[in-house]
Amino acid sequence: MNYNLICITHSNHTQAELVYLNQKCRENKIGFILSENFGLAGYTFVDFGDKHTVTDLDGEPCKQFILSGVEQDELGYVTVHEDKRHSFQDGDYVVFREVEGMTELNSLGPVEITDCKPFSFKIK
C-alpha cells in the first residue's frame, strides 16, 4: 500500500471488516481513522500505532497562570498570583515562559507537577 492514512467516514462495512482493515493498516504502519455520525450522536476511532500518544485530556486550550514566586530550594514550590487559582492536578505537566530571575525554568520542556494546592504546586 502506498498510503499514510486510511480515513473512513461513512461505512457499510461490518465490524469484522473494519477490524480486519485496521489490523492491515497497523501491519503496514498506516494510520487508520473511522468516524461516523448518527444525527446528534457520533464517534471517532483513531489508530496511529503503538508509538502514537495523546497527552491532551480534554481538548481544551492550555491554561496560563501568572506566577508570583518560585522557591529556590530542592522542593521547587511554585506559587501563582493570588487573583486566580490554578486548575492543575497532580500528574499534570507545565511549561514555563517569560520567568524572570530563575530563567533556567524557561528552557525546561514539559515538567510534571505534584502536591497541587489551590495557589501552588511542586515541580517534580
CA–CA separation, 26 and 17 (whole Å):
14
Q: What is the pLDDT of residues 2-34, one digit of tens each?
A: 889 999 998 788 999 999 999 999 999 999 999
Share of the chain above pLDDT 70, in %: 99
What backbone torsions phi and psi does residue 121 show, to the nearest 5 degrees? -155, 165
Q: Where are the domains of the chain?
A: 5-47, 67-123
For the beta sheet containing 93-94, the strands, ordered from the edge strand earlier in sequence to the opposite edge, are 67-70, 77-80, 120-123, 111-117, 93-94
- pLDDT mean over 38-59: 85
CATH of 67-123, one of 1.10.3080.10, 2.40.30.180, 3.40.605.10, 3.40.50.720: 2.40.30.180
pLDDT(84) > 90: no
| The pLDDT of residue 1 | 60
Cell, residue 94: 507545565
CB 106 within 8 Å of CB 97: yes
